[in-house]
Each structure stands twice: as structure tokens, then as C-alpha cells.
Amino acid sequence: MRRYYIAQLLISILLLAILFLYSGFSLDALLGLSPIHLALAYASMLSATLFIALSLYMILRLMGLRVSIGGAVKANFAAQFLSDITPARLGYFALPVFLRRYGVGAAAGLAAAFMIGVMNAIVKMFFGILALYYLSGLVSLSAAQYVALLAGLGVLVATVVLIAFVAREEYAVRIEGFLGDKPVIGRLYTRFFAGFLREIARVMGGIDARVFAVTLPLAASLFMNALSLYFAATALGINIGVLDAVVISSLASVLMYFPVSIGGIGVQENVNTVLLYLLGGAPLQLCATASIVYRAVLIAADAPGLPIAAAHTADIKKYIGMRSAPRPGLVEESPGVAGEPPPRTR
């Protein structure tokens, strides 16, 4: 895992170096940005995180768990912060660690994180397809750019289908039986995935179609992300519309599903820079600066989760160790302390 993290960190640095090499960075523009627009960008990004917390709260309630909206907000902030600094944004799956204090077991916490991932992927897939259609009517993209965007959508579709597939308990058992005797894949699946996926499928089996209501706050979160990008760009004098910002955010979020860098760092900045240049007509140097400002705003908006995550460092380490060697019934306990009281239900 450490080698994987280091590799993705180096890729993130490389992608940012490529961005600065070909686009540059305008310190003068950064010093002259509008503080009002910057504050609006931060407020929009903070609202985006709160909408994700609302979707988490809705899912937990649908699962019959009595978690306060404040508890959902705190747990979401911590998980969001970890997703910003982990490979492929996997930090969000540490969510059970932060939900434990509210009586949510590991299986239920993981199920909630999975459902957030599935619903979020559906929303991004929908807006990504619309954004690609909109963009194709405005600018001429190269074959390589189209391939990259379509590949991102393909990964997104495959992710939704795969997660929805393994979320059904009978299929999770079948997959485990099919892969169990395979020399390498079987050992990896049995060690890292089989136990908790089976338990997650069992917990998720009780969630009905009302879960699709969660797409509404997630769509609102995507819009507020776009609004944050809009304010970050206009703070530097880049002339784009809100609809353009929605298109850029949608396509950038699609490409961030490629697990190649820490929290999508480097990938998002390059995509935002190119699309701001195509739609806003501003110099590349100014577009790259806006992309860096947007990233800084994103990290600052998730910063309230830092002290919460830091307070659970030991629990996170124990949780990762438990996930790497799942045993039958393990996920019914707390993610780090055996004997946790069972989740409170209605």
C-alpha cells in the first residue's frame, strides 16, 4: 500500500509539473484576485460538502439507523478530507471509523459509503454524458481528448455496474465461489474483499428504491462544486458562464475516476485548465492559476475534517489492518474495537 501511495504521489507531482511546464503560473494574477469571489468560491465548496453529508444522512436513515445530522456532517467531513489525500480517493471508505461513535457498525458504515459511491457515480455519469454532448457542439476536440473523456465515462459506467452487481448478496457469494480457487486473483479477493463485500451486500439488501432520492443532494453538490469553480475563475478575470462551469466540473469529475493520482490531484487541474481555455478563451497561464486556486479552495473546504481524522488515527490504522485480513463476522464489530455496541435502529 505504501508503494502504491508513493507511486500515485509521484504521478500527481509529475502531472502538476507538466501543467506548469506547458501552461505556467501567474503570481501577479493570484495576488490580484478578488477576495469576494474567493470567499464565494469557498462558501460554494463548503455547501457542496454539506450536500454530500445530507446524502449520507439520508442513506443512514433509510438503513434504519438513528444518526443525527450533526454526526453525519462530522463523519463526512473527516472522510472527505481523507479522500483528498489518498490514492483514488479511497479515504472515504474509512467512513465507518467516524460513524462508530454514533452506534453504526462497520458493515453498515461501509454499505453507506458504497451507496454514496454508487449514487454519486450515477449522477456524474448522467451529467458527464450531457456535458460531453454540450461541449462537442461548441468546440472541436481532438481524437485523443474524445477518447480520454469516453474512457472516463466507460470507467464510470463499469464502476456503477460492478458495485450494483456485487451489492446483491447472492452474486457476492457466487463471485467469491468463482474466484476462490484462482491462484492469484482468488487470494487477493479472499484476503481484501470477500468478507466485507458479503456483509455489505447483506446490509444493503434491505434498502429500497427510495435511495434514489439521494441523487438530489448529490446533484446539488455537483452544481455547488461547479459554482465554486465559476467563482474561482471569475476571481482571476476569466469570463465563463455558470453552465460552462457545470460542464467543466462534470467532465473533470468523470476523468477523476481514473485511479492514477492522490485525490485526483494533477488530473483535475489539467482537465480544468484545458476546458477553461477552450470555453473561457483566457490565456493558459491564467487558466492553470484558476485550477490551482480551485484545488486550494477544495482542500480548505474539507479542512474541518482534519482534526476529526487526526483524533481517530489509531482507529484508522486498526481498521485498515482488519480490512486487509477479513474474517467471518468481523465486520459486525466496530472498525477497531471489538465488542462495540450494535447499531441503534428505530
- In terms of C-beta distances under 8 Å and separation of at least 24 residues, what long-range contacts does 177-180 make, across chains too? none
pLDDT, tens digit (0-9, with 9 covering 90-100), for 250-283: 888 877 767 778 888 888 899 999 999 988 888 9
Measured N-to-C along each axis, helices 267-280 and 215-234 cross at an angle, to the nearest 10 degrees, of 70
Q: Comparing C-alpha atoms, which of 179, 44, 53, 178 is closest to residue 116?
A: 53
The predicted model gives 18-33 an average pLDDT of 83
Instruction: Give the chain's end-to-end CA distance (angstroms, integer).
Output: 39
DSSP alpha helix (H) spans, the chain: 2-23, 27-31, 35-62, 69-84, 95-99, 106-136, 143-166, 169-179, 185-189, 195-204, 215-234, 242-255, 267-280, 284-302, 305-311, 313-324
Q: Please, are residues 3 and 200 in contact by the beta-carbon 8 Å criterion?
A: no
293 CB-near residues (< 8 Å, 6+ apart): 30, 33, 38, 41, 232, 235, 236
pLDDT of residue 334: 39
DSSP 239: -
pLDDT at position 115 over 70: yes
**Global pTM?**
0.78
Q: Please, are residues 308 and 43 in contact by the beta-carbon 8 Å criterion?
A: no
Average pLDDT, the chain: 79
Measured N-to-C along each axis, helices 215-234 and 35-62 cross at an angle, to the nearest 10 degrees, of 170
The predicted model gives 203-226 an average pLDDT of 81
Q: Please, are residues 100 and 338 in contact by the beta-carbon 8 Å criterion?
A: no
pLDDT, tens digit (0-9, with 9 covering 90-100), for 172-198: 566 666 666 666 666 666 655 565 566
- Residue type, position 127, single letter: F
pLDDT at position 37 over 60: yes
Alpha-carbon distance of 295 to 82, in angstroms, equals 15
pLDDT at position 239 over 50: yes
Place of cell 463548503: 46
